Amino acid sequence: MVETLKRIFIKGGVTTPNELKQVIQLAKALNLESISFGSRQDILLPVKENQEHLLKTYFPEFKQDIEQNLKFQNIVSSYVCTDVFSQTSWLSGTTYLYLHEEFKYNPTLKINLVDPQQNLIPIYNGHLNFIASKNEDYWYLNLNLPGWNKDINYPVLVFTWNISKIAEAIENEYQNYDNVQDLYNRINELVDSNNKVITEPLNIPHKPFPYYEGMNKMGISQYWLGLYWRNNKYDINFLDEFCDFCMDYRISRICITPWKSFIVKGIEKEYKFMMEKFLGQRGINVRHSSLELNWHLPVNDPEALKLKRFIVKSFDQNDISTYGLTFGYHDRSEHPQYFTSMIIEKNPSPKMANEFETINSYNVLYCKNFNPNTREYIPYAQNVEEIELPGLLMKLSQLYFLQLDSNSENIEKPKENKDTGISENKVHQCKDCMTVYDEEIGDAEANIEPGVAFEDLPSDYTCNLCGAPKNTFQQAVLQK
């Protein structure tokens, strides 16, 4: 019997435990044991032809469409990163939630609402990419429209509360134009908007890909949890119980990521032990290797998953570091969607092969400076066999760390004191427990990367040992 994937659209990947339980109820009605997450923060369910009627019976309020005949698209946003990873100061979680609700229509174009300071949610893989600027409540707009030869930037900054209206107008009008200035003039006629002149070009800082799993500190008294399944098949019985736990312990939202995982924010400090106990009783692993977390694979592709496991095993056996890098896989017979540092392309089988068995061949590409936001991919190897891929990717990983030597963000080592031969390093020290914050090292527990000045730490930063607030730190000199 024919089976198709149904997509349940979750705007920005943000859902509540109660809404997720409705999805689970539908999954149970479909006799499923698991659900999967999609690349655009949506939920995927395999549905047989004779089960189509159950969608309207159990889940009428959500939009569904058959994946291989897409008409509508889910809205992607970096709400999941707020209060968890680096963020633009004015862009709050509440702003994202309001923006999600502003979209009263069902977009057929892919729309991204993203913060350029984070590195978990892809910035440029939409048709309309709204990217937060330094100006409060204003966004750059990058256009990568179907049928246009290249992506191009909108000539003005877009006001937060005009985003949905401008997106809908562009969707209705873009096919009538072939250049951005004429399209902009037409949108200006249709939408009464509060635009702002662009005074400086968009600059997206390149940051290493973050580790997004496990229990992590969030502010002074809260934690966030990231959960990841290797095969992207999340057990519905576990999820059902997990939703009940969230509702019992006042956790209001669950956030789906584009990396086939989900994050729960706002776990109160007093409930942290109960969450850990809940996970432990069910044997849930929350510390996968970063070698596994930085992969993006197509959904329900056993061949891609098998290839990833083979490569990850080789990385592990050779003690290779891939911190900060991301890997993707796609079949060249399908339309590519790149947003990772490196890509493995599977070449189509030769047409002449017919019924003869052939050996799969692959191409390896990497993006300029290993930064996906450059959107410029460089061929590294072509028509290689599977057995060669781990070695090639290891060499590329080493090349990544080598090119970091010329990175403009490198910090010079401290100068030595000529009188004593001892180098001095200015740091900030907690007055309560004497814990040191050194900007050269950062604070891994608080997801503060090396190079962040103490003055630039968030106002709710706390000592990672005793929890004392930021204002209890005082400047000190560390001798080395």
424 three-state secondary structure? strand
Give the integer Cα–Cα distance in Å for 165 and 130: 13
Please name which of 197, 149, 141, 131 lies closest in space to residue 169, comparing C-alpha atoms: 141
Q: Give the start-to-end residue ranges of the domains of the chain.
A: 1-123+204-288, 293-406, 424-479
Q: How confident is the model at residue 194 (pLDDT cuts 50, 70, 90)?
A: very high
pTM of the model as a whole:
0.81
Three-class SS of residue 256? strand
pLDDT, one tens digit per residue, over 367-423 is 999 999 988 899 999 999 999 999 999 999 988 988 775 555 555 655 555 554 544
Give how far Cα 324 sits from Cα of 77, 207, 290, Å: 21, 7, 9
Which pLDDT tens digit goes with each residue over 23-73?
A: 999 999 999 999 999 999 999 988 887 887 777 776 666 555 444 445 789
pLDDT over 70, % of the chain: 89
Parallel, antiparallel, or unpaired for β 254-256 and 261-268?
antiparallel
How far is 93 from 81, CA to CA, in rounded Å? 9
Q: Which residue has the higher pLDDT, 352 or 392?
A: 392
State CA 268 to chain mean position distance.
24
User: Distance between terminal CA atoms of the chain?
Assistant: 70
Q: Assess whether pLDDT exceeds 80 at residue 429.
A: yes
Select the more confidently predicted residue: 197 or 333.
197
Helix (H, G, I), strand (E, B) or coil at 422: coil
**What's the 3-state SS for 163-190?**
HHHHHHHHHHHHHHCCCHHHHHHHHHHH
Tell me, what's the pLDDT at 225? Answer: 96
Give the distance, in angstroms, between the CA of residue 136 and the centroid of all CA atoms in the same chain: 23
Contact 371, 359 (CB under 8 A): no
The torsion angle over the Cα atoms of residues 156, 158, 162 and 163, rounded to 10 degrees, is 120
CATH ID of 424-479, from 2.20.28.10, 3.40.1350.10, 3.10.129.10, 1.10.3720.10:
2.20.28.10
Domain 1-123+204-288, CATH homologous superfamily name and number: Sulfite Reductase Hemoprotein;Domain 2 (3.90.480.10)
